[in-house]
Chains A and B, each alone.
Chain A
């Protein structure tokens, strides 16, 4: 295959991206210092990544990115970041019981440990939240490594490339093309004439919400200590930062084995609105902060998103209150308990609809009371967040366009002469965009289905029997960047038991889901065309 792409330029910029990524490892390093843990894991990791970065930079000291190179850069960055992200896991876990630590007893064990670490790292950067950690605890893993795990989600949420556009002038030149490939949703919304300013505005809003959540959570904890009430007993500064890092990017990782169920009901209520916020197009907040709240309230996608949240919340709350699910631990009894039924419904819908993946109830156990409550969750998982949010999935705007286009198609088949554009909130969606959205949605569902079958067969091969619902949830939870599924891969379970081949497939699914497939495929198609000439 002859690549007519100037791949040196892409790799050169990738080098810069990696050196900056190394800088972010200073955060877990600081944590290690504070908790007086082994600092060598991150010192070595930083050195390795910096050397790699500078090495790549030498390939092309003055990179000139064209549209194709930009596309390649995004794809490469999203391969390189998860790979580099495995270094701390492998080093820290070396010689311990950790499932993501480097094992050197045999080649098979080494490969397995690397696949696990890659899965965990990809799940982090893509904000999926599926885990292969056998045991989530701060005893087995250091505070620093667990903070790195949280940080990968925070970096991946708004996007590493968007961050680079915001701070690096050489990347900003072709920034619009880059951002379109990385930003979730079918269209890029430029807020300011300069793309770097748009990227900066988005990151500042994102950063602002994160700081706000940390302040509220830790504030509750401190207030609780002062007035001697159990407002948020476990929410120390470490937990507040760790959870803010994975709430805003709709990530879902938690250093606590019990996820958010480890915290008080008050903390759970506080996190719900922030999960909802994370699924909203961040560009809309930009308008709100400029005093144009109207733009947000009149936005069709936002209204649909809010409506879907409200409707699914209502349905699930009624089911939970009516006793459709058994008592779960964690989660507790919801039948006839108003506060708990409302909270569990709101939290689970708020978490799964926009692909966060936190849980306060073990909904994997809900199947014992019949599957209707789980089906509501599965339905929510299919929706996804909004375009321009940090959420994964198909996205509300695509569903809107798909349904409107189908309705139009049905109408025009009876009246062939009618010409009717698809409208979204008064704006006409052009036919190219509709075609793109249709292709994306078809591909997404196709991949989801094929992967579900593969996972089911592959698991049966090694003697793990999955139900159809469980296999579907595994496929959907990874391609949709959600995290938890049903059965053994529920919110308090993990993906460890899957065969390596399935884990690798799921790693690819997560990657496809985050980059929304199309730029990735565009790259392949471009490469194939060039080679065919």
Chain B
């Protein structure tokens, strides 16, 4: 596969590094020194030039490329680069955009800007943080259908309240589906009578709220409940999205932002979040508002140094779990060394997402479980799909391999899948299936 990557920053370099072994990679970089460095660092072809110019892209032979990844630090340059690439050939284009505005536009029409897949780094980072904060018990978590559907895999411990219960007893949530159980290298497609044993790994698919509630059921000690206090220090875009996603999951976080107009804006955007306008590094303030008694603190201010300060302060005040956003990749280890529980790097998160998506698939989205024993896939059903018009019950009966429809979204809303739910064109379905049958399922969809 021929891959063209625009931008050799941390994201671009990480992607190039990952793809270089098996694919032919061309990297276009504006900065001549950086371009030259990369030539010696990785086994890729580097070109010095502007990724948005037609000439440069022609030189990079974009016309014959299969995959085009625009991942500079400039949102608009990335979008224009993708649009330009589409005029030269038909590569699959992936753009990185920090701002969620472009993601919204792209979600409205999936061919907007000539982008085939848009990675919103602020949102991705926030989603990652929410997973870290919200579901510490999960082994694996993934989002589908633009965040409406969540898949999570939990290891059931000896002490978990659901150990020994049947699936029917444990699954109390309407919008949650038990997709599969892994027990000693074996996959069980569970029925209502299947009994959960300690050491099982359960895969559930459902709305984010139901997954959160389920996590609270199986691991009450580690999972934060609605009553737990979450403090977000810093109203950056990442801080904002984290608060928004936490609200969606039923939390009421507290957000501290120093800038008054930004704080006011955030308080208007976030109805369930308590917004305070103050310097988050002020110990007196933290103690006065009892923020030192919080269960989790996220440091999401702008420069890394500020985050370091907030995080260290929070640890000293006795906050149990401290998560920090670290822009500079080199600092990640440093943060974790001095006792910060998790340091999240937006560039790393973005690179991972793009790499994950670089492996072509008919599915809209997929997640690989347990060393590729099973996969969770999302399909958008179009008018020609064989599945349109069949109910989920019929689908189960007609297919000769086991599959579980874990969730369904229609017109941007979550619909709990029932036996008599009839699939329509335009629906997104999230399906759990053993890896060996993925090909057959894809033929159907």
The answer to whether B267 touches A419 (Cβ under 8 A) is yes
Report the separation of the CA atoms of residues A421 and B260 in the bound assembly, to the nearest whole angstrom. 13
Report the separation of the CA atoms of residues A417 and B268 in the bound assembly, to the nearest whole angstrom. 15
**A419 contact set on B, CB distance < 8 A:** 260, 263-264, 267, 275-277
The answer to whether A420 touches B267 (Cβ under 8 A) is yes
Among B263, B268, B278, residue most surrounded by chain A Cβ atoms (within 10 Å): B268
The answer to whether A415 touches B276 (Cβ under 8 A) is yes
Report the separation of the CA atoms of residues A420 and B264 in the bound assembly, to the nearest whole angstrom. 8
The answer to whether A421 touches B267 (Cβ under 8 A) is yes
Q: List residues of A (411-432) whose CB comes within 8 Å of B's CBs.
A: 415, 417-421, 423, 426, 428
Report the separation of the CA atoms of residues A117 and B264 in the bound assembly, to the nearest whole angstrom. 53
Q: At the interface, yes or no: B289 with Cβ under 8 Å from chain A?
A: yes
The answer to whether B289 touches A415 (Cβ under 8 A) is yes
Report the separation of the CA atoms of residues A418 and B264 in the bound assembly, to the nearest whole angstrom. 10
Q: List residues of B (265-304) whose CB comes within 8 Å of A's CBs.
A: 267-268, 271, 274-278, 285, 289
The answer to whether A421 touches B264 (Cβ under 8 A) is yes
**B277 contact set on A, CB distance < 8 A:** 417-419
Report the separation of the CA atoms of residues A426 and B264 in the bound assembly, to the nearest whole angstrom. 16
Among A419, A420, A423, A426, residue most surrounded by chain B Cβ atoms (within 10 Å): A419
**A421 contact set on B, CB distance < 8 A:** 264, 267-268
Please give the distance in Å from B157's CB to the nearest CB on chain A. 39
The answer to whether A423 touches B271 (Cβ under 8 A) is yes
The answer to whether B271 touches A426 (Cβ under 8 A) is yes
Please give the distance in Å from A431's CB to the nearest CB on chain B. 9
Please count the residue pairs between chain A and chain B whose beta carbons lie under 8 angstroms apart in the complex.
Answer: 28
Report the separation of the CA atoms of residues A418 and B276 in the bound assembly, to the nearest whole angstrom. 4
**B285 contact set on A, CB distance < 8 A:** 417
Measured CB to CB, the nearest residue on chain A to B278 is A417
Report the separation of the CA atoms of residues A426 and B277 in the bound assembly, to the nearest whole angstrom. 22
Report the separation of the CA atoms of residues A417 and B260 in the bound assembly, to the nearest whole angstrom. 10
The answer to whether B276 touches A417 (Cβ under 8 A) is yes
Please give the distance in Å from A114's CB to the nearest CB on chain B. 53
Report the separation of the CA atoms of residues A415 and B264 in the bound assembly, to the nearest whole angstrom. 15
Measured CB to CB, the nearest residue on chain B to A423 is B271
**A417 contact set on B, CB distance < 8 A:** 256, 276-278, 285, 289
Please give the distance in Å from A470's CB to the nearest CB on chain B. 45
**A418 contact set on B, CB distance < 8 A:** 274-277
**B275 contact set on A, CB distance < 8 A:** 418-420
Report the separation of the CA atoms of residues A417 and B267 in the bound assembly, to the nearest whole angstrom. 12
Report the separation of the CA atoms of residues A421 and B274 in the bound assembly, to the nearest whole angstrom. 10
Q: List residues of A (425-464) whose CB comes within 8 Å of B's CBs.
A: 426, 428
Report the separation of the CA atoms of residues A428 and B267 in the bound assembly, to the nearest whole angstrom. 9
Please give the distance in Å from A53's CB to the nearest CB on chain B. 48
**B276 contact set on A, CB distance < 8 A:** 415, 417-419
Measured CB to CB, the nearest residue on chain B to A429 is B268
Report the separation of the CA atoms of residues A420 and B275 in the bound assembly, to the nearest whole angstrom. 7
Report the separation of the CA atoms of residues A243 and B285 in the bound assembly, to the nearest whole angstrom. 64
Measured CB to CB, the nearest residue on chain A to B273 is A420
**B267 contact set on A, CB distance < 8 A:** 419-421
The answer to whether A428 touches B274 (Cβ under 8 A) is no
Report the separation of the CA atoms of residues A468 and B232 in the bound assembly, to the nearest whole angstrom. 55
Please give the distance in Å from B113's CB to the nearest CB on chain A. 30
Q: List residues of A (382-421) whose CB comes within 8 Å of B's CBs.
A: 415, 417-421
Measured CB to CB, the nearest residue on chain A to B275 is A419
- 0 or 1 for each of A203-229: is its CB under 8 Å from B? (1 = yes): 000000000000000000000000000
Among A417, A418, A421, residue most surrounded by chain B Cβ atoms (within 10 Å): A417
Please give the distance in Å from B303's CB to the nearest CB on chain A. 22
Please give the distance in Å from B110's CB to the nearest CB on chain A. 29
**B260 contact set on A, CB distance < 8 A:** 419
Report the separation of the CA atoms of residues A58 and B275 in the bound assembly, to the nearest whole angstrom. 59
**B278 contact set on A, CB distance < 8 A:** 417
**Interface residues in chain B, defined as those with a beta carbon under 8 Å from any beta carbon in chain A:** 256, 260, 263-264, 267-268, 271, 274-278, 285, 289
In the complex, the 3 A-B pairs of residues with the closest C-beta atoms, listed nearest first: A417-B276, A417-B278, A428-B268
Known: A417-B276, A419-B277, A420-B267. 14 other contacts (CB 8 A): A417-B256, A417-B277, A417-B278, A417-B289, A418-B276, A418-B277, A419-B260, A419-B263, A419-B267, A419-B275, A420-B274, A420-B275, A421-B264, A421-B268
User: What are some 19 contacts across the A-B interface (CB < 8 A)?
Assistant: A415-B289, A417-B256, A417-B276, A417-B277, A417-B285, A417-B289, A418-B274, A418-B275, A418-B276, A419-B260, A419-B264, A419-B275, A419-B276, A420-B267, A420-B275, A421-B264, A421-B268, A423-B271, A428-B268
